[in-house]
Structure 1
Amino acid sequence: MGRLPMSGLLGRLGSWCARHGRIVLALWVTAAVLLTAGSVVFAGPVSNNVTIPGTDAQRAHDLMRDGFGPGYDPGGTVQIVLYSPDGPLTSQRRVRAVHRAMDGIRRVPHVAEVQSPYRVGGLAPSMEIGLITVRLKGHDNGKLAETTRRLSEAAEPVRALGVEAVPADASTPADKEIKTGTSEIIGVVCALLVLLFAFGTLVAAMIPIFAALVSIATGLGVISLLGHVVDVPKQASIMATMIGLGVGIDYALFLLSRYRRLLADGLPVHDAVRRTVASSGGAVVFAGGTVIIALSALLLGGFPLLQTLGWITGISVVCAVLTSITLVPALLGLLGHRINALRLPFMGRRKTADEASGWSALGAWVAKRPWSVLVLSVAVLAALTAPALALKLGPLDDGYGDRDTAARRSYELMQAGFGPGINGPLVVVASLDEKVVDRDPAPAVLRLLKEKAGAVEGVAHVGEPVLNEGGTAVLVQAVTEYAPSDTRALEVVEDMRAIRVPGARVHVGGEVAAMSDASARIADRTPLVVGVVVLLSALLLLLAFRSPVVAIKAALMNLVSLGAAFGALSLVFSLGLGSGLVGMDPPVGADDSYLTTLFFTVPIDSYIPLMLFAVLFGLSMDYEVFLLTAVRQAYLRHGDNRRAVAEGLGTTGRVITSAALIMVAVFVAFIAYPDPMVKIFGVGLAVAVAVDATVIRGFLVPATMVLLGRFNWWCPGWLDRILPNLSIEGHEEESPAGEPRKELVVAGHG
């Protein structure tokens, strides 16, 4: 088949952007400013929907919403937790203040019902903690955070008496929305320091930073506005920022490094830009494509929150790729040789070919002793991966949240007053075979449902059955003896679903039940998602390098780096060896000893490993693509595999290391976020990238490529004939003048 001119198209695109730099720059800046302004003025709501179509928890939720009205929908109920440290809530002064607060709450729009803390079950045995339950109707779930804030403000009369009033909304309270800020600044500053060290000039260091910031501003603006159309998870903006900032800087770094080398070799500015985008730009497109493929595969996960989180995060990667192949060439064309202006002393000095870097020496060293390097690398990676066997999955509730948030405080108060199960009650909803007309006395089916629900092991309390207006369904709330993050609570869910009541079909909902169903669905779909990601990524590499061996080996290497990431997560969170060191607060109920504040176990939500797999598989492929591109270019020049591996590592080692340092710095900076989920992602991503860029790309990959020899680039004849040529290296532009490029013919027939 004929060559598809991918490198040529990218080269022409880069050349056009370089010649029309002011137009391209103005378009990107305008788009970023307008989208950012739009996201501020017309910010879309965030969601934390954990329901899954076709599950028992979803059926319970639908029954509850349709049969009992929006007031019984979990998204339509807000609780205000009252705590009186100076005396019981039953004193006359406090009772009057509570009623004044309830009157103020009733005046808040969309409030349908306000239940007093002085009802049965509304006061803790100590009489110091109580619950005001507010049921809403006709409200916008996307604005529940704002409604919760107004309800909390209406409780000011009790605060005047020294009574603490904390909102406990299980859906989307304002303090649970993840906002950007300090960590991004820290990440950008760390990235700038690495770039200054790598390039030695302030102008060159600022280009990747500027391109990444424009990319992130554009992506976040799009994501925020999408909140008006789809349910955008509250984690979407932070995930998009983490990934977008890392890949945005990295992709621009790869292009800039190539451009500076071409300038140093004497090429005119526009020719250097064209060749840069034709070669390194193609690698960026393929690298970004693998990340997007991996994130898109989460659509097969069967979990709406995970599906949306995947493709929305992919938006930031698309923006990073687009800015890299358009905005960066525009900036390079505008700056020309001034890219090396404002040089810093003693930093970023360009080495000659003979003293390329320590990476060239390392490449030659690895090439001389591949078996020893292979065995040692495998041993190190096995040691890093071994702790992954102890990885513990489970729901992560607000009991592990930051102590400075209202969500954590309300969790503590409710557990202290009513027991750990109150923070994750089970909602037992049954549709009745026969319509109930006479409600007094309570029909036998209602009494039997309450009796059997209360007899389930691990249930601490069962409320009174509530019939819907039509008499076709009944609702019972059951409080377990366990916190939502306790795996025993999941066992109670299964036992509750096993009860049989004649004349009723029982379903169990609530946060714990929904997470139980999510775990089961993800476990079922994980093999499919993993298989699709590995297969499509390998296919993309096959198209890029026309080598089945390279494609399969790259997929296996990426899986190895994932093992190291899960091993680190297990050490820090499942085994508790330093969870306090990453800023996690000990769970509710733990003692305040010094050791406890540093070492305690933290459950990992079941969807996090699959999300991490998709993100890390894509990011790991970035470095694989850039390393393989350099090795293949060298091999096509002279046909010596061992020498090509050493040269490829030598030419890419410095830039890959710089890119990895930037990525690690960005991910470590995000560990400072108070949200536990972000901390888990930060640890996993940072460790995986660090291991991938050092042990795997520096030792394991070169050693295996040396051992495989010409088989690295072997391709069966029949496969070579049917594969479209999407080569990303731009060889026609890479061969030195006067040096013929060797054609690679290592097919099955010759």
Structure 2
Amino acid sequence: MVLGERAARAVAAVCRTCVRYRLVVIGAWVLLVLALVMTARVIGTPTDNDVSLPGTDAQLVRDLTASSATPLTSGTVIVVARDGRLDDGTLVATAASLWGAEHVTTVKPPSPQEGSLSADGRTGWFTVGLDVRRAELTKAMAHAVIEAAKPAADAGLRVLPGGALAQVIDGSGNTGNEFFGLILAALVLFLALGGLVGAALALLSAALSVLATLEIVGLAGNLTSMPAQASTLALMVGLGVGIDYSLFLLSRFRTLTRSGLTVSRAIQRAAADSGTAVVVAGVTVAVALAGLSLTEVPLLQTLAWTCGIAVLFAVLAALTLLPALTSLAGGPLARGGRLYNRLARRTGSGGFWARQADRVTRRPWLAGGSAVVLLVLLAAPATDLRLGQLDAGSSPEATAVRQANDAISAAFGPGAGTPLTVLGQLPTPVTGAQDSRVPPLVAMVWAQPGVAAVGPTTPSGDGRVVTVQVIASTSGGDPATADLVHRLRSQSVPGMTVHVGGSTAARVDLADRVTDKLPLVIGVVLLLSVAVLLFAFRAPLLALKAAVMDFISIGAAYGVLTAVFTWGWGVTWIGLSGPVPIPSFVPLMLFALLFGLSMDYEVFLLSDVQRRWKRTGDNLRSVREGLLGTGRVITAAAAIMVGVFLAFVPNNDPTIKMFGVGLAVAIAVDATVVRCLLVPATMAMLGNLNWWTPGRKRVRTAEPV
């Protein structure tokens, strides 16, 4: 058997048990999902995009300025006069109406002293405090607050939600286009498996595993801060790997039944072969994601373990639920239909993949060289990869956060929507605003280039902290604002320690933390992934080459990301108004995800090649037959995953768009150029060195392919 006798026997034993008690297994999965769904409906699935970053300057400011008097959540209600100035009577009536809204505890009307009323008097905002945590704020609550501003709307003012209210109204940014990914997956499964039975089994298995994942991720929001992107990213990954793993197993099952094995025996053999490969692929994804824990960034750690849960459930479903379902519908699936048989003849012996395998292995230098040239061209833009900070102005124009940002920026300047908080920490309490230690802080802030406005100083209750709101002349996503943060932090004021906080400062701290940890994360992920492959295949050169191939696919993804989001090539086609910065954590998260996901096809191809090499001892023949046996399945699996990822590109969240584009490009390149050209070409060139193991003689086993 492949990838270790013990592992294969263990997987086959699990599969055999699930087939024997198939109704119990199916019932257990259905009950588990129903229980999770019902629990989530009762307890709730809160999300919270306000993620902390311990040990940073921005987090220190946030902790020092927090008090028992601070509302659990605050948002803004923006009002804009279409002509003339805002009427005082309308503002008073609107404030009174907002006070009467459910969950509202504080209301601060627009005021020039607070900096919430524009100089021309046409635009202002109400600051509204709520008695619920940000994670508990629902769309219904947010809409209720906006509806309470009816006096302003009746007076002809434009009323917009801002801050947390706008964020919760936009939600996760889903547009419903995700279903197109499922439709494409169903079509590819129908073609690959030759009928509705196989497609239905794969989709059902993936659907139950994804439902379980989403409900667990949602419930976890009651225990920890859960960003809205977490469930969307888990859905992307869960659907992709869940359907792919099912396709791998069902394709192997179909091959084995065509060779004469009974349904029960074919299920066990498919689990021992492709099932073991699925386990190794899943472990590799988990290892790559686990490397993100070294960043010490809660956002990345949360995204990592939520995606890890999706992969775990996909593997469990493939090894337990799918064999049980297959045993019930194994007969029709094994027989297939005329469509499957016609496709098998066209792509089988003498078909496209046979010719492709022959071309690649006969001229490996030409095939490999052509692949390298193409990959270099795709990765070339990555040399201009520039990381930055997203802000509300980066969102699509139809979103609530973008409309609020545009209204505030037009009236107050581009930096008004993302103010900085400059904090002075003192050893002894201040005696008042005229304390001699306070004016130097304000003077220092005004002296910095890029400062558009400075608010009044506000001492804390104990007087040991003084804060001042600073409006930059540039937007929160502009690199100049990040430079201003660094300049302010580098200044010294006699008698106090200066810190800088706010959302922009927090993103700057996130970028610095990710940059510092990047070499460590990449090194650990690389070493652990190579170790997993070495354990699985017992071939050092094969494991190292697999890691190198993954880097190549990731480089192509980075290149396309740069061309689309930094250079703006086709960016309007995906719903954005122009180029946007690429957040610092996106390339690192993509690296971990892609390094794991790309291994799916690597493991599936190599396990098939190794199985044939163990039987024949002929490397070139094994590579040819391995590519012939897996090419169609890998292409179908990649088409499914690419379709699923592209279906999330219309999402209103620019970060999700980046993940969708990056993952889709990398998987497409990996499954075509890398796995079908570069990998077999290099294996043909290396010959038996592929299977070299130091100090150990390989024993081939004459087991059927």
Fold-level similarity (TM above 0.5): yes
Specify which of 619, 632, 642 is matched with residue 654 of structure 1.
632
Letter in 1 for 2:624: A
| Separation in 1, partners of 2:239, 2:252 | 20
Letter in 1 for 2:704: S
Provide the residue aligned with 2:569 in structure 1.
Answer: 577
Specify which of 686, 690, 693 is matched with residue 708 of structure 1.
686
Cα 1:167–1:104, aligned 2, differ >3 Å: closer, same or farther?
Answer: same
Does the CA contact (< 8 Å) of 1:17 and 1:327 recur in 2?
yes
Q: CA deviation at 1:173?
A: 2.5
Mind listing any 5+ residue stretches in structure 2 that lack a counterpart? none
Does the CA contact (< 8 Å) of 1:149 and 1:174 recur in 2?
no
| Separation in 2, partners of 1:181, 1:601 | 21
Provide the residue aligned with 2:58 in structure 1.
Answer: 57
Is structure 2 residue 367 aligned with structure 1 residue 398? no
Name the TM-score, length of structure 1 as normaliser: 0.90
Does the CA contact (< 8 Å) of 2:112 and 2:118 recur in 1?
no
Q: CA deviation at 1:180?
A: 5.1
Does the CA contact (< 8 Å) of 2:195 and 2:340 recur in 1?
no
| Separation in 2, partners of 1:577, 1:34 | 46
| Separation in 2, partners of 1:196, 1:216 | 20
User: How is 1:500-649 mapped onto 2 (pairs within 5 angstroms)?
Assistant: 500-584=492-576, 586=577, 600-649=578-627
Cα 1:182–1:348, aligned 2, differ >3 Å: closer, same or farther?
Answer: farther
Provide the residue aligned with 2:45 in structure 1.
Answer: 44
| Separation in 1, partners of 2:109, 2:392 | 25
Is structure 2 residue 70 aligned with structure 1 residue 78? no
Is structure 2 residue 100 aligned with structure 1 residue 113? no
Does the CA contact (< 8 Å) of 1:201 and 1:341 recur in 2?
no
| Separation in 2, partners of 1:181, 1:398 | 18
Does the CA contact (< 8 Å) of 1:44 and 1:227 recur in 2?
yes
Q: For 1:448-493, what per-residue CA distance to the aligned partner results, in whole angstroms no more than 9, with x for missing partners? A: 1111111111000000100112111111000000001100000000
Q: CA deviation at 1:51?
A: 3.1
Q: CA deviation at 1:38?
A: 2.2
Aligned partner of residue 177 in structure 2, secondary structure: helix
Q: CA deviation at 1:164?
A: 1.5
Aligned partner of residue 445 in structure 1, secondary structure: coil
Tell me whether 95-104 or 213-222 shows the greater mean CA deviation: 95-104
| Separation in 2, partners of 1:490, 1:202 | 54
Letter in 1 for 2:59: Q
Specify which of 276, 280, 305 is matched with residue 311 of structure 1.
305
| Separation in 2, partners of 1:697, 1:3 | 23
| Separation in 1, partners of 2:604, 2:5 | 20
Task: Provide the identity percentage.
Answer: 41
| Separation in 2, partners of 1:277, 1:517 | 46
Q: CA deviation at 1:82?
A: 0.6
User: How is 1:344-743 mapped onto 2 (pairs within 5 angstroms)?
Assistant: 345=339, 349-351=343-345, 355=349, 357-437=351-431, 439=432, 442-584=434-576, 586=577, 600-717=578-695, 720=696, 734-735=703-704
Q: For 1:658-697, what per-residue CA distance to the aligned partner results, in whole angstroms no more than 9, with x for missing partners? A: 0000011111111121111111111101110000011100
Provide the residue aligned with 1:302 in structure 2.
Answer: 296
| Separation in 2, partners of 1:654, 1:200 | 13
| Separation in 2, partners of 1:613, 1:460 | 38
Specify which of 144, 148, 152 is matched with residue 137 of structure 2.
144
Provide the residue aligned with 1:592 in structure 2.
Answer: none
Aligned partner of residue 477 in structure 1, secondary structure: strand
Provide the residue aligned with 1:593 in structure 2.
Answer: none
| Separation in 1, partners of 2:434, 2:190 | 76
Is structure 2 residue 22 aligned with structure 1 residue 15? no
| Separation in 2, partners of 1:321, 1:172 | 37
Does the CA contact (< 8 Å) of 1:202 and 1:342 recur in 2?
no
Aligned partner of residue 508 in structure 1, secondary structure: strand
Q: CA deviation at 1:237?
A: 0.6
| Separation in 1, partners of 2:692, 2:621 | 18
Is structure 2 residue 191 aligned with structure 1 residue 192? no
Q: CA deviation at 1:505?
A: 1.0
Q: CA deviation at 1:503?
A: 1.4
Q: CA deviation at 1:4?
A: 5.9
Does the CA contact (< 8 Å) of 1:202 and 1:343 recur in 2?
no
Provide the residue aligned with 2:125 in structure 1.
Answer: 131
| Separation in 2, partners of 1:286, 1:163 | 60
Letter in 1 for 2:582: I
Does the CA contact (< 8 Å) of 2:18 and 2:321 recur in 1?
yes
Mind listing any 5+ residue stretches in structure 1 that lack a counterpart? 587-599, 737-750
Does the CA contact (< 8 Å) of 1:663 and 1:686 recur in 2?
yes
Letter in 1 for 2:622: A
Q: For 1:692-747, what per-residue CA distance to the aligned partner results, in whole angstroms no more than 9, with x for missing partners? A: 01110011111111111111011111xx59xxx9x9xxx979426xxxxxxxxxxx
Q: CA deviation at 1:344?
A: 6.6
Q: CA deviation at 1:112?
A: 4.6
Cα 1:279–1:342, aligned 2, differ >3 Å: closer, same or farther?
Answer: closer
Does the CA contact (< 8 Å) of 1:428 and 1:508 recur in 2?
yes
Q: CA deviation at 1:364?
A: 1.5
Letter in 2 for 1:17: C
Letter in 2 for 1:70: T
Cα 1:123–1:538, aligned 2, differ >3 Å: closer, same or farther?
Answer: same
Letter in 1 for 2:171: E
Does the CA contact (< 8 Å) of 1:574 and 1:602 recur in 2?
yes
Q: CA deviation at 1:151?
A: 2.5
